[in-house]
Structure 1
Amino acid sequence: MPRPKSEFEEIFPCDFYEPADLLASDAMYTVYEIARLLQGLEPDAELERDTEDILLDWAIPWIMVNADELVVAEPRSDDEPGHYGLAETTSD
């Protein structure tokens, strides 16, 4: 059920990182690492499972919206997630 804005103490702009501002050009990241980076955490920060699930709710749409600027690599094994990185840009 929607709630009135007046119920919230603070409301912030919904600004998201651009891929090039978040990811190193020479690295590949799992969705879990991207989720942490989007929150200003280190990619290997320890999180409780419930917290990680909430962060994934932000990371998955971010990856989809920015798909044109990203590349994906298949998992190296069946028990590992895929990895995402910045697509190479070319100069004209």
Structure 2
Amino acid sequence: MPVPKSEFDELHPCDFYTAEELLDEDRMYTVYEIARMLQELDPDAEIDVETEEVLLDWAIPWIVNNADDLVVAEPRDEEEPGYYGLA
């Protein structure tokens, strides 16, 4: 259910990193690494599965929204995810 804004102590701007701000030009990242970085965590940070699922809820739309600025690489083997980098 929607709630009144007045129920919150503080409201923040909905400001996301651009692809150029988040990613290094010469690196490729998995969606899991991007999810961590969007939360200012190290790309290799150990997090629990439940937290990772929540972070993916932010990362996947971010990737879709920034698709014009990204390139995609197929996984190097069947057990790896795909990779994303700056175009």
Above 0.5 in TM-score? Answer: yes
Residue 5 of structure 1 and its aligned partner are, at CA, apart by: 1.0
Could you tell me which residue of structure 1 aligns to residue 42 of structure 2?
A: 42
CA RMSD of aligned residues (A): 0.6
Quote the Cα distance in structure 2 between the aligned partners of 1:77 and 1:8.
46
Q: Which residue identity is paired with 2:33?
A: E
Quote the Cα distance in structure 2 between the aligned partners of 1:10 and 1:46.
29
Quote the Cα distance in structure 2 between the aligned partners of 1:10 and 1:31.
30
Quote the Cα distance in structure 1 between the aligned partners of 2:17 and 2:85.
14
What's the % identity of the aligned pairs?
69
Could you tell me which residue of structure 1 aligns to residue 86 of structure 2?
A: 86
Structure 1 segments of 4 or more deviating over 2 A?
none
Could you tell me which residue of structure 2 aligns to residue 4 of structure 1?
A: 4
TM-score, length basis structure 1:
0.92
Quote the Cα distance in structure 2 between the aligned partners of 1:49 and 1:9.
29
Does residue 77 (structure 1) correspond to residue 80 (structure 2)? The answer is no
Residue 11 of structure 1 and its aligned partner are, at CA, apart by: 1.2
Structure 2: stretches of 5+ with no match in the other structure: none
Number of aligned residue pairs: give it.
Answer: 87
Matches of residues 24-35 of structure 1 in structure 2 within 5 Å?
24-35=24-35
Q: Secondary structure at the match of 1:85?
A: strand
Q: Which residue identity is paired with 2:44?
A: D
